[in-house]
Amino acid sequence: MLSGYRLMWVAIMFDLPVVEKKERKAATDFRKTLLDMGFEMAQFSVYMRFCTSQTQIDTYCKRVEVALPEGGKVNILTFTDKQYERIISYRGKAKQAAKKSPSQFELF
C-alpha cells in the first residue's frame, strides 16, 4: 500500500542570472526543461513534481543536474506527501484551500 509518508514531492528552487541575453536564454531553457520533465511551476523560480519512489526522485535529480545552466543557484528539496498536505498558501490576503495529492499515480 502506498503511504503519504512514502510518496514524495521534489521541489526545484533557483535563482539564475538574467542580466545578459545569453543568461536569460539559459534560464528560460532551464524552466522549459523542467516543464518537459513533468514539473509544475509553483512560483516563478519554484517547480514541483510528485514522485512515487526514491528511485524516481534520484532519476529526476540526475536529469536536473544535467540541465543545470552556468551560474546561479539551484536547490533540490524533497519532502513527503503528508508534509505537502500541510502547506499553508495565500493569494494576497486570502488563504487558499489545502493542497490535494494527485488523483492518479504515475507508474513507470
Q: Which one has a higher pLDDT value, 90 or 2? A: 90
Per CATH, domain 8-95 is 3.30.70.240: yes
pLDDT at residue 6 in the model: 76
Query: By the 8 A CB rule, do 89 and 75 touch?
Result: no
pLDDT at residue 2 in the model: 57
pTM (two decimals):
0.83
Q: What is the DSSP string of 16-54?
A: ---SSHHHHHHHHHHHHHHHHTT-EEEETTEEEEEESSH
pLDDT tens, residue by residue, 39-82: 999 999 999 999 999 999 999 999 999 999 999 999 999 999 99
Query: By the 8 A CB rule, do 34 and 47 touch?
Result: yes
Q: What is the DSSP string of 91-102?
A: ETTEEPPPP---
Sketch the domain layout of the chain as residue ranges: 8-95
Grid cell in block for residue 59:
532519476
